[in-house]
Structure 1
Amino acid sequence: MTRKLVARGYGEPEQVLTVAELPGDPPPGPGEARIAVSAAGLNYLDVSLCRGEYPQQPEPPFTPGVEAAGHVVAVGSGVDAGRLLGRDVIACPTLPRGALGESVTVDAALVVPRPPELPAVAAAALPVTYQTGWFALSRAGLAAGETVLVHAGAGGVGIATTQLAVARGARVICTAGGPEKAAVCREHGAELAVDYRREDFVAAVRDATGGRGADVVVDPVGGAVTAQSLECLAFEGRLVSVGAAAGAPPPVDPLRLVAGNWSLVGLSWGSAYPGRRPEAVAAAYQELFALHRAGAVRPPVTRVVGLAEAPAALADLAARRTTGKLVVQIGGDDGRRG
């Protein structure tokens, strides 16, 4: 038997998620690997999954979780056992077989061996948040010396994007809700943190840049924030939309982009890049591992919970009561059951 967190309907995480004792996973099929999960990262998309709002929404019952760190215990035919079997790894499971359980079977092409200096709890904070930040800045063509505005700067994606932008030699301005979250932004490298509850962030960005605006905006918030962010852009500025935690943004008139010489970029990392650009994802992981060794990437794990506590942790994430990254510890830190 194996324990997994299962959603048997749609609703708020605490209403629909339960820990279930299920029969053990079958042997991996061709091209698959089974992982004994040590730790799994939590993301806002897990909340969206529970609510039935995710674009690639599975039907219940399903197990959420798209970030796993653990230990490969079995591989199917066609998989290079020498590369993976017995290795500590990071993986992005494909729904409905999510990471929030004692084991998960995944496409072996989505499994990456992790370096020994990267423990499982920290590793589980890397895939979605840091890969999203990495590709957002890459798609924006961020250059050293440019200014980046990062919304929700005290969240997992916000902190990851800030650290990566600083590593690229950029100046970072963050928005956050409240002085405590603004302080978190500064701790991770933001030169300026704007408390949007007290200040107009458009005016603050314009003032901080001498009226020029931000070269790049990374927006995981959506809603009205996306429209306001256009007012923050510099000449030839780039706005990268990576989510919509506050709801869908209003339509954007293409002529506004023409008039400002602006670019609007959409990025959905987890639903597209691992499957469609696996070589680019693998290369990004190696860069992230190198930045971690250099101390530039510091996964901001602020809370570690058990599997039974995950629904309450997701409720806190949905209510914006969290900072940094929430991780569920399931097995031993080396990927074996602990």
Structure 2
Amino acid sequence: MRAIRLHAFGPAETLTYEEIEDPAPGPGQVRIKVAAAGVHLLDTALREGMTGPFPAPAELPTVPGREVAGTVDALGEGTDPSWLGKRVVAHLGMAPGGYAELAVADAARLHALPGHLGDAEAVAMIGTGRTTLGILQFTDLGPDAIAVVPAAAGGIGTLLVQYAKNAGATVIGLAGGPEKVARVRENGADLAVDYTEPTWPEQVRAYLGDRAATVVYDSVGGTTGRAAVDLLGKGGRHIVFGWSGAGPHDGEPLTFTEEELRERGITSKNVLGPVMIRKAGGDVRNLELAALAAASAGTLRPAVHRFPLAEAAKAHRALETRGTMGKVVLIP
């Protein structure tokens, strides 16, 4: 099969497209003929040897990627035979191997796909979608809510905007550049502003008048995240799920002392990791099921940015330079 392999930690160019041996499913596993593989910002950090929610690969070379959709074409010993030939999606968990024409997954991780849900969209929901619904567990949105969404043209940002609008909230989306701002506006945001313009906070305040934001969904941190938090009124909530950076001085976690929070009258909570899973009943699969159901029903519509599998390095570079919109997906 053809696959992307990482032979040494480093820049995107360390990802190579090559022919390797087909994988074989073990007991309780299936092999998936991959139709779409998800690319996560975390993948770019792991490529460089950094650690985070997932450890960096212990051995090289390795095939990156943990989100795949496609058709089951082989079964391991003891696997339910009804899976054979089914269209499925799976998050592979700690085991990589998604950037390939064939990938192995534990049968317990599979979700069968309805015919009307595309492979790329399913991949977006199994990772990005489940995280979005995990984030939303920590807020109650309704007609009185005013939500600020930095990185609103990204995979999670796109879904946050849609969910908040479905709940009747006023949504303010931040994005970098005219094309992304236009996409955020098309996605339903009440106000879309360009965070690369120094006056963007004033634009938001002018729009809100005597109102204040009630929640900020912060994945960027740094100066952009802090400016967004400054829009919160008393009782506002700062929901943190990353610090990828948006502006030129971003990319650092945004934290507040207890005294600062009391003075502002707001709360700040990092919702990633074990706290999110506990909120979901201790099983991340609950979030996956909810995300796929929302996409199947059409209440959430993931945005997808496709690249050929052979161009995985290009996809990584684009993701790192904020040159993508929506979930990045590789197509074999």
Superposition TM-score, scaled by structure 1 size: 0.85
Q: 1:196 to 1:212 in 2, by over 3 A?
A: same
Q: Per-residue deviation at 1:250?
A: 4.5
What are the equivalent positions in structure 2 for 1:1-338 lying under 5 Å apart? 2-13=1-12, 15-30=13-28, 32-55=29-52, 56-59=54-57, 60-76=60-76, 79-82=79-82, 84-246=83-245, 247-268=251-272, 273=277, 276-292=282-298, 296-302=299-305, 304-330=306-332
Aligned twin of 1:335: none
- For the 8 Å contact 1:300–1:325, the answer to whether it is kept is yes
Q: Hey, what's the Cα distance between the residues in 1 that align with 2:84 and 2:276?
A: 26
Structure 1: runs of 5+ lacking an equivalent: 331-338
Q: Hey, what's the Cα distance between the residues in 2 that align with 1:291 and 1:267?
A: 26
Structure 2: runs of 5+ lacking an equivalent: 246-250
Q: Hey, what's the Cα distance between the residues in 2 that align with 1:97 and 1:271?
A: 24
SS at the partner of 2:244? coil
Alpha-carbon deviations, 1:48-97, whole Å to 9, x = none? 22122340232233322232111123344564443x33211111112442
SS at the partner of 2:138? helix
Alpha-carbon deviations, 1:95-132, whole Å to 9, x = none? 44231111222233322111110121222222222222
SS at the partner of 2:260? helix
Q: 1:256 to 1:126 in 2, by over 3 A?
A: same
Alpha-carbon deviations, 1:153-192, whole Å to 9, x = none? 1122211211122122222101111222111100111110
SS at the partner of 2:72? strand
- For the 8 Å contact 1:44–1:317, the answer to whether it is kept is yes
SS at the partner of 1:314? helix
| Identity of matched residues, % | 33
Q: Which amino acid aligns with 1:301?
A: V
Q: Per-residue deviation at 1:231?
A: 1.2
Alpha-carbon deviations, 1:304-333, whole Å to 9, x = none? 322111111221121112223332111xxx
Worse overlay, 34-43 or 123-132: 123-132
Q: Which amino acid aligns with 1:16?
A: T
Alpha-carbon deviations, 1:27-59, whole Å to 9, x = none? 3233x3322211112222222221223402322
- For the 8 Å contact 1:176–1:196, the answer to whether it is kept is yes
SS at the partner of 2:35? strand
Q: Per-residue deviation at 1:227?
A: 2.7
Q: 1:275 to 1:315 in 2, by over 3 A?
A: farther
Q: Hey, what's the Cα distance between the residues in 1 that align with 2:74 and 2:263?
A: 56
- For the 8 Å contact 2:24–2:31, the answer to whether it is kept is no
Q: Which amino acid aligns with 1:310?
A: A
Alpha-carbon deviations, 1:246-290, whole Å to 9, x = none? 222244212222333322222336997499523422441353134
Q: 1:218 to 1:324 in 2, by over 3 A?
A: same
Q: Hey, what's the Cα distance between the residues in 2 that align with 1:286 and 1:33?
A: 20
- For the 8 Å contact 2:215–2:236, the answer to whether it is kept is yes
Q: Which amino acid aligns with 2:24?
A: P
Q: 1:272 to 1:239 in 2, by over 3 A?
A: closer
- For the 8 Å contact 1:58–1:96, the answer to whether it is kept is no
Q: Hey, what's the Cα distance between the residues in 1 that align with 2:288 and 2:178?
A: 37
Q: Hey, what's the Cα distance between the residues in 1 that align with 2:202 and 2:313?
A: 38
Q: Per-residue deviation at 1:8?
A: 1.7
SS at the partner of 1:173? strand
Q: Which amino acid aligns with 2:136?
A: L
